[in-house]
Amino acid sequence: MLNGQVAIVTGASRGIGKAIALELAKHGVKLTITGSSDEIHRTKRDLEDEGYQDIFSFRADVTKELEVEQVVQATKTAFGAVDILVNNAGVGVSKKVEDITVEEWKKTFEVNVQGVFLYTKAVTPIMKQQQSGTIVTLSSDVARYSLPEKGSLYTATKYAVQGFIGSVAQELQQYGVRASTINPGLVDTNFGDTKQGEAAKTDWLKADEVAEAVRYMVEAPKHMVIDEMYLHPLCQQYPRT
């Protein structure tokens, strides 16, 4: 069902983004993967070592409009379409509000919110012309509730993303373009200052499980929209709205 489609995946150097790239490649998707360091080229080699072809890798900053536009146009030129965008790149700062610097505030919003905006903006004309496309944004379960401590900045960015994508979904629906969010809870990755595989994360979600959720969302019949998908491990307790 996905075979031959074209996807851009941001933040694909490792963790959830790399798992998403692998999951889509398994189903015959042509890929452009981006990351903020040269590690993204290693991800490309890893995928090619698994036997997957039609993969481009770009070291690109999601906060820079020109770089984003270059990635999107290069993808369109190479593959002739952009069917799927996965906004995955993100950063986290865990500090009490009085300890957050203005620089940290700006940088986190630039990556988590501006990056989503720039890629969504760049693919929109292509998808509107195609009269089809799916935009999936990896947000967080904190887009619907507030972390109790040291989470004000990260939570603020995810609320912003949730509102932005909700409006974009309504704006683009008439063109056959879907925009949705996947909002995971605790996932065992190297996100923040933690390390993947720590004993405390044994019962957390795994990156490949989130990747399967992305594939399920983009594989949904074209007449069906999955607006939001929330995932969390049984071990995670949090207030529900």
The answer to the question of residue 238 being in a domain is no
- Flag whether 150 is in a domain: yes
Q: To which residue do tokens 């070291």 refer?
A: 59
Q: What is the rounded (10 degree) CA torsion for 2, 3, 7, 9?
A: 80
- State yes or no: is 154 an active-site residue: yes
pTM: 0.93
Q: Longest Cα pair distance anywhere in the chain, in angstroms?
A: 50
Question: Which pLDDT score, from 0 to 100, does residue 137 have?
Answer: 98
Mean predicted lDDT score pLDDT of the chain: 92
Q: Is the pLDDT of residue 215 over 90?
A: yes
Q: What is the CATH number of the domain that holds 76?
A: 3.40.50.720
What is the spatial distance between Cα 238 and Cα 137, in angstroms, rounded to a whole number?
Answer: 22
Q: What letter represents residue 168's amino acid? A: V
CA 41 – CA 146 distance, rounded (Å): 36
Q: At residue 150, does pLDDT exceed 60? A: yes
Whether residue 183 lies inside any domain: the answer is: yes
* pLDDT score of 241 more than 80: no
Residue 46: inside a domain = yes
Per-residue pLDDT reduced to its tens digit, 98-144: 999 999 999 999 999 999 999 999 999 999 999 999 999 999 888 88
How many domains, the chain? 1
Instruction: Tell me if 113 is assigned to some domain.
Output: yes
What is the residue-wise DSSP string for 26-61? HTT-EEEEEESSTHHHHHHHHHHHTT--SEEEEE--
Report pLDDT for 9: 98
Domain extent, residue 205, equals 6-231
Judge whether 236 lies within some domain. no
Q: Could you say which of 52, 119, 145, 154 is catalytic?
A: 154
> pLDDT band for position 240 (50/70/90)?
low
The Cα–Cα gap between 160 and 162 comes to: 5
**Residue written as token pair 């004309």:** 125
